[in-house]
Amino acid sequence: MAVVVGFSSSIALIYQSVINLGGDSSLVASWFLILGLSMGCLSILLSYYYKIPILIAWSTPGSALLIANIQGFSLNQATAGFIVCAVLLMLVPLLVPIDRLFKWLPSQLASAMLAGILLSFGVSVFEQINLQPTLIMTMLISYLLAKRFIPQWTLLIVIIISVICAWQLQLIEMKDIEWQWSEFQFIEPEFSWSVVFAISLPLFIITMAAQNLPGIAMLQSFSYEAPVRPILSIIGLCNILVAPFGGYAINLAAISASICMTEDVHSDPKQRYKASIWSGIFYIVLGLFAAYIMAWFALLPSALILALAGIALFSTITHSLQQSINSEHKYINEAAIITLLITASPISLWGLSSVIWGIMGGLLVLFINTFKLPQLTKRSLNK
């Protein structure tokens, strides 16, 4: 169930990321192969070694960032961005304590940046209604009903119903698909400073703030004391190795990981790590079958894929908006709103994307509101 939730919530996003970079379904399969193997092996090894349900996932908001932020970059440049991001994910937890890392960047700004990135995906769902009204309305209704009655299977149900509806509307080009195994495709990185600022830094911030931190909080909420710093560094090291093959960003899972931590898994919390091990096995199987799955997925109409990507992010957008304005200090909330607006805008100056300008704008608001002028004493006035 954890694997189904994780896969169904991101398949359309990762597929669209590769297509936007100029790839095809075979390259998508390569991405899913390396992601499935790395996530599966790490989940198995870390869970078995620490006897804690540690589930590894790909960065869902990271894939959304790639779609919104890779215009003008080639596949080779994007790969270089993945490698630099992985280096940061490995080194920063070792050099800087997690609590200090985000002391200078309030969680509200990170949430606002994420909301600004994802906002266009939510809007695109309703833009697709102009193209395929019957299909998109069916997807929205199925989403609302499934979310109300069986929320844990919402996205899987939406996928099944949308595919059936598209087939009935004759929007799927039916053809024979031959069985094929997934194959690795190495992508030679092409480094540049513009890649670091446009892809690596935003991907690092989002992966840490929206994935790793919630993953840590999820472990703590179930009273699991995990050595966070070595775990994050091990994940980052593995990320460096798999990045040239499409491992754009891997991290601690949060929502899907919680499925492996409840009482439904086992009455004894010390035995629940076995669920993460089995999840890792299923991720490996998923990666091996990715080529065949992606061959079928490529037959779906683009309107369905874009709408599915947006619908999968409804909950994340809602959570990000709520978290961005939950501070008791008004100036932090205002900084978050400015971050959101700039990030969602099409601004692109001096080679820096709207994501970087959004963070800079929010930090400027914080600086102006917290900067204190030196107090003048009577002695200094006399002088």
pLDDT tens per residue, range 87-127: 999 998 888 776 666 566 677 887 787 788 778 878 888 88
Beta bridge partners of 252: 56
Beta bridge partners of 346: none
The yes-or-no verdict on residue 51 having pLDDT over 80 is yes
Among the ranges given (35-44, 103-112, 300-309), the one the predictor scored with the smallest mean pLDDT: 103-112
* The Cα angle at residue 170 between residues 153 and 8, in degrees rounded to 5: 20
Q: Is residue 246 a contact partner of residue 45, using CB atoms and an 8 Å limit?
A: no
C-alpha distances in Å from residue 144, one per residue of 81, 139, 319, 334: 37, 9, 17, 32
What span, in angstroms and rounded, lies between the C-alpha atoms of 27 and 170? 27
**pLDDT score for 138:** 93
